[in-house]
Structure 1
Amino acid sequence: MLDTEQLASQNDEAAKQLETHPSQDFLIEVLAALALDGLSIPVTLTVGGILVCGETVGGKEYFQKTIDGLQTAASDANTKRLIQETVGQFLVPYENSSTLRIGYIHLKNVTYHSATTKDGIPNGSDAKPMWRGRLSQIDGFHFGRFSKD
């Protein structure tokens, strides 16, 4: 369960630095923390000139779905075991989210948009991918998904 007092304490310094260009936005950090407790919020993030749209998801779900996808693509049991052992290590920090230092945000059902694309950047399939981004690399955001309407 998310320790809101601890999160508020961690973000006190970030809130004080709003005028001095903090390394990551404390509100985006809160969104990532809420996702650890299962709250999925539609967002559009600006990262290096690209719009990344999706719904927030906790790191545990992100890594489990990544493992599942890689294992589906794997051709033999040994490779599947290796995927579970290596990528599965990244699940461990999410077992106790109250002590986790949040540095990444995870999204599901992701679409990408840029100034030169009309309907989004194709990802090579009809699947809506998962996405993991460093909070300190996000230039801006808004609640809700980007829509061309």
Structure 2
Amino acid sequence: MNSELGANKDSILEFFVQAANRHDFSLDITLNVNGAVISGTLIPAKDYFETMSETFEDGNEIAQKISEQLANAGESVDSSKGAEVNFIHLKNTKVYCGDNKPTPSEGKILWRGKLSEVDGFFLGRISDSGS
């Protein structure tokens, strides 16, 4: 097997992620990933790490260290805006598997995935009739 096979990324999707990371661009998008449907809003990697950092900042000593590391990761991403992107970050995410209700069904969920694992996408979010 070719080890580079998994490194293939959709260049258009990669372009959207680069636009988000470089220009604070956001976009409602739905992804197909290994049979699951992931629907949310594309956000810059920096926003993802900042929001994750805030989740831990009021916790105990370990949580605060995690918060610092996540904040540093966000700053690192911000300083490498010209670098190749390998991950996509979504907020307000819902994951659909089959005909079941999305998981999670409530809350403002952040999601991070490998661009090389995305099988397809369409612009727009899936909205639940129940929400």
Task: Return the TM-score normalized by structure 2.
Answer: 0.82
1:58 aligns with 2:44: yes
The aligned residue for residue 104 of structure 2 is 122
The aligned residue for residue 3 of structure 2 is none
Rounded Cα–Cα distance in structure 1 between residues aligned with 2:45 and 2:57: 18
**CA contact 1:111–1:128 (8 Å) conserved in 2:** no
**CA contact 1:67–1:83 (8 Å) conserved in 2:** yes
Unmatched 5+ residue regions in structure 1?
A: 1-20
Unmatched 5+ residue regions in structure 2?
A: 1-5
Q: Helix, strand or coil for the counterpart of 2:81?
A: helix
Closer, same or farther: CA 128–81 of 1 in aligned 2, 3 Å: closer
**CA contact 1:93–1:100 (8 Å) conserved in 2:** no
The structure with the larger Rg is: 1
Query: What is the number of residues matched between the two proteins?
Result: 124
Identity %: 27
After the TM superposition, list the runs of 4 or more consecutive aligned residues in structure 1 that deviate by more than 3 angstroms.
Answer: none
The aligned residue for residue 4 of structure 1 is none
Closer, same or farther: CA 113–82 of 1 in aligned 2, 3 Å: same
Closer, same or farther: CA 70–84 of 1 in aligned 2, 3 Å: closer
Structure 1 or 2: more helix by fraction: 1
Rounded Cα–Cα distance in structure 2 between residues aligned with 1:87 and 1:111: 23
